[in-house]
Every structure is written in C-alpha cells, then in structure tokens.
C-alpha cells in the first residue's frame, strides 16, 4: 500500500534524526525552533543546527490533552504531545529550545515544555509599527544570542553572523524563485507537491547540501515552464492560501482543493511566500539587521497587522488569483477574528470568492470540507 504524504515525511524525519544523531556524535549542537520569528542565522553563526519542532500530526494530541485543555489549537497540542510521548525522534536531540510570545496558548505551553529542555522565550512586541518595537526586539535578539552562546558554550562573532546572513539570504532567494515559478499559468507544480517537497528537503543537517537541492528544484521548474510542461490544465482556478495551515498539518484541505479542480499557486503566512520576500540588510550591523528582518514577519498576534493585508493584496495581483482560502486552526481567536478583515479585502476590494475554514488536524470534517470547497470552486467557475 502506498504511503501517504504525512507517512513519507515521518520516514524522512526518522532518517534525519539518524543523521542528526551522528552529527551530534561529532560534536555539533542542535537548537529547536518553534516559530517564524526564530532568527535561525544566530544559531548558524554559533556553528549549530536548527530543527523545527512544531507538531503537524494528530497522533500526539491525545497525550497532550492529559495535560493541556482540549480546546487548545491543534498545533500547540501536537507540539507538546510530540515532546512528552517520545513520538518525535528529533526532540530528544535538541540541546535547547527557543520560543516566542505570540499566542497565549504557546506561551503557557512553553512553560511546561521548558521542564524537558533548556528554553529561552523571546518577548515579541505586539505593536510592530510603534517606534519602540524595533529597539525592544533588537534587545530580545541580543538576549537570544547570549542564551545560545551560554547553552552551546561558544562565542558568536560579527563575521560569523555576516556569513550566516549570506547563507540565509541565498536560501530565501532560491525558495522565493521556486514559489515565483507558480506565477506561470498553469503552474509547473501543484501546491501539495511543493509543500511536501519543501518539507522533505528542509530536513537536512547540512545547509550547503540543502541549498544545492533547492537550486536543482528551481532549475527543474524553470525548465518545465520553458518547455511548457505544466502540472495541470489552464482552466483550474488559481487559489491563494492565507492564514495558518501552510505545513503538512493541514494537507487535507490542500489535497481537497486540488482534487476538486483548483490549484494552490501561492501561500501566505508561516511557511509561505511572504516569509521569503525581504532579505536581511547586509549594510547594517549584523545583529540589528537580523532583528529588523524578523520583525517584518506578520502574525495575527500583532496589532495592527497591516503588513499582512498589504501582502495579501500584493499576492492577489502578482499571482493572478481567482479565489482566496483563509485557514484558521480551531481555538485560534486572533486569526479567526482577523479573517473578517481578510474577507473584506478579498470580496470588497477585489470582488473575488473567499472561503474561511476553521479546522484541526483530524479527518472528522473532511466530508463537510469537501462540500464547502466544491461549492467555492464552482463559485469561481461560474463567475468566469
């Protein structure tokens, strides 16, 4: 029987854990990350490896609910469950963790997660447009650097930071170009295929090897566009995916969209195109430049979150979007409320069909989702 995408990714994670363990035996350190606000370049400058530890599967949630309330978002529960029930082969290999004060569920879960590993919490300013926000966040990034230096018993130099910035900028550039290949109509790769491919390749202990893999993918996609080798027919509605769920945690929705005749050509938010849009400024002091770049990340925990709305408008135009799906995890109040404003822009300003989905990692609502997504696709087709 053929493995599902999630099962294939779990196999990749297991292989990655074995590589990681061998690398640790050689003296390398590992730092676990939990959010897009995590400034990974600082860890690279320390000569260490970064690993993402957010939970994206339903399995660990039952264990988490022995401690956490059931009405928490699935990502919070899955992340904690993976840590406490030993279902994540990567978590035990992390030397320390770095979190951030985004949503309330994460903040309180981190207090419990800190019982298992040394943990540093970055205090994220909630009003990014205030003049004080930049200074505060720069100070938080400095504190995080000091935490990494202490935990890994090393000294991070400006030269090392500059080299890490160069590496990170090159990775963003290549990934951004990969996403931009989907501006072609029709696109050279389906949305689900790109998410699964990107996820699999991100599990790499060697950044140079990872970059070469991504460059190979980019060259292949450019060749497909040049040769007019497309992944689907031109009649498929071009969908912008916003909000949460840009990982394999919600591949059920992505799969349904593409099974029912649409194609996701762009993703906004965590794991999406907007995280790649701006390089780190190489003319500033490296630590300040890193801080400023990561404060540009958008999240519904911010107020106001105007940059996200600007990004959505930009993506609608750049990727020639026919309809927008905004996904919210259950119990994520900030994204749930913010979806109203997203809908105002999509429907009111651009006159496009808009679908807001609230779901979790389970398969219990697949039938209902199928009906709603099918109706959404039909609405787009009828408006042509």
Residues 175-209 have pLDDT tens digits of 999 999 999 999 999 999 888 887 777 788 889 98
Q: What is the pLDDT of residues 263-308, one digit of tens each?
A: 999 999 888 899 999 999 999 999 999 999 999 999 999 999 999 9
Q: What is the pLDDT of residue 374?
A: 98
Please give the share of the chain, as a percent, with pLDDT higher than 90.
82
- Mean residue pLDDT of the chain comes to 93
- Show Cβ contacts of residue 46 under 8 Å, excluding neighbours closer than 6 positions: 29, 148, 149, 152, 154, 156, 160
The stretch 75-92 carries a mean pLDDT of: 92
Ordered DSSP codes for 212-251 = HHHHHHHHHHHHHHHTT--SS-TTSPEEEEEES--SGGGH
Please give the share of the chain, as a percent, with pLDDT higher than 70.
95
Name the packing angle between helices 191-202 and 158-180 (round to 10°).
Answer: 160
pLDDT confidence tier of residue 2, bands split at 50, 70 and 90: very low
**What is the Cα–Cα distance from 73 to 55, expressed in whole angstroms?**
11
Element (H, E) at 51: strand 49-52
pLDDT confidence tier of residue 25, bands split at 50, 70 and 90: very high
**What is the Cα–Cα distance from 105 to 331, expressed in whole angstroms?**
9
Q: Which residue has the tokens 């689900």?
A: 192
**What is the Cα–Cα distance from 41 to 286, expressed in whole angstroms?**
10
pLDDT at 4 over 60: no
Q: What is the pLDDT of residue 15?
A: 80
Q: Which of 54-63, 156-165, 359-368 has the highest mean pLDDT?
A: 156-165
And the tokens for 85?
A: 């029930």
Q: Lowest-pLDDT range, 12-21, 90-99, 160-169, 269-278?
A: 12-21
Q: Do 44 and 207 form a contact (C-beta atoms < 8 A)?
A: yes
Burial 37-52 (b: 16+ CB within 10 A, else e): bbbbbbbbbbebbbbb
Taking alpha carbons only, the member of 274, 254, 310, 335 closest to residue 74 is 335
pLDDT at 384 over 50: yes
Q: What is the pLDDT of residue 249?
A: 67
Q: Lowest-pLDDT range, 71-80, 192-201, 371-380?
A: 192-201
Half-sphere exposure (Cβ direction) of 88: Cα atoms closer than 13 Å: 24
Q: What is the pLDDT of residue 244?
A: 86
Q: What is the pLDDT of residue 56?
A: 86
**What is the Cα–Cα distance from 353 to 377, expressed in whole angstroms?**
9
> 100 has which bridge partners?
122
And the tokens for 319?
A: 């990727």
Q: What is the pLDDT of residue 121?
A: 98
Distance between alpha carbon 47 and the CA centroid of its chain, in Å?
23
How much is the pTM?
0.94
Ordered DSSP codes for 253-284 = HHHHHHHTT-EEEEE-STTSGGGGSSPPPSSS
Domain annotation for the chain: domains and CATH numbers: 5-156 (3.40.50.11890)
pLDDT at 6 over 90: no
Q: What is the pLDDT of residue 198?
A: 79
Q: What is the pLDDT of residue 362?
A: 92
Name the packing angle between helices 158-180 and 286-295 (round to 10°).
Answer: 30
And the tokens for 380?
A: 């787009």
């Amino acid at each position: 029987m053929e493995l599902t995408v999630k099962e294939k990714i779990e196999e990749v994670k297991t292989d990655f854990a074995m590589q990681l363990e061998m690398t640790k035996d050689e003296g390398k350190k590992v730092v676990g990350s939990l959010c897009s606000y995590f400034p990974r370049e600082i860890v690279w400058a320390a000569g260490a490896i970064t690993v993402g530890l957010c939970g994206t599967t339903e399995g660990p949630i039952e264990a988490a609910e022995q401690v956490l309330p059931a009405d928490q978002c699935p990502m919070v529960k899955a992340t904690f469950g993976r840590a406490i029930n030993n279902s994540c082969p990567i978590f035990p290999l992390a030397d320390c963790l770095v979190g951030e004060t985004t949503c309330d569920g994460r903040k309180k879960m981190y207090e419990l997660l800190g019982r298992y590993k040394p943990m540093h919490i970055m205090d994220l300013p909630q009003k990014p447009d205030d003049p004080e926000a930049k200074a505060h966040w720069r100070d938080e990034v400095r504190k995080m650097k000091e935490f990494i230096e202490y935990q890994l018993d090393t000294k991070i130099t400006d030269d090392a930071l500059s080299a890490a910035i160069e590496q990170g900028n090159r990775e963003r550039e290549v990934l951004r170009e990969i996403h931009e290949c989907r501006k072609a109509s029709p696109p050279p790769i389906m949305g689900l295929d790109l998410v699964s491919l990107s996820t699999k390749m991100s599990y790499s202990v060697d950044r140079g090897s990872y970059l070469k893999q991504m460059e190979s993918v980019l060259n292949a996609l450019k060749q497909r566009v040049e040769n007019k080798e497309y992944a689907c027919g031109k009649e498929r509605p071009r969908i912008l995916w916003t909000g949460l769920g840009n990982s394999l945690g919600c591949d059920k929705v992505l799969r349904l969209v593409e099974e029912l005749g649409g194609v996701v050509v762009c993703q906004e938010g965590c794991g999406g195109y907007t995280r790649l849009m701006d390089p780190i400024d190489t003319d500033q002091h490296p630590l300040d430049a890193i801080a400023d770049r990561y404060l540009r990340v958008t999240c519904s925990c911010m107020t106001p979150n105007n940059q996200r709305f600007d990004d959505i408008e930009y993506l609608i135009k750049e990727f020639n979007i026919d309809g927008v799906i905004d996904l919210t995890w259950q119990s994520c109040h900030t994204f749930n409320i913010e979806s109203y404003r997203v809908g105002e822009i999509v429907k009111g300003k651009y006159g496009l069909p808009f679908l807001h989905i609230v779901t979790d990692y389970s398969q219990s609502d697949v039938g209902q989702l199928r009906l709603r997504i099918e109706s959404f696709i039909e609405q787009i087709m009828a408006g042509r």
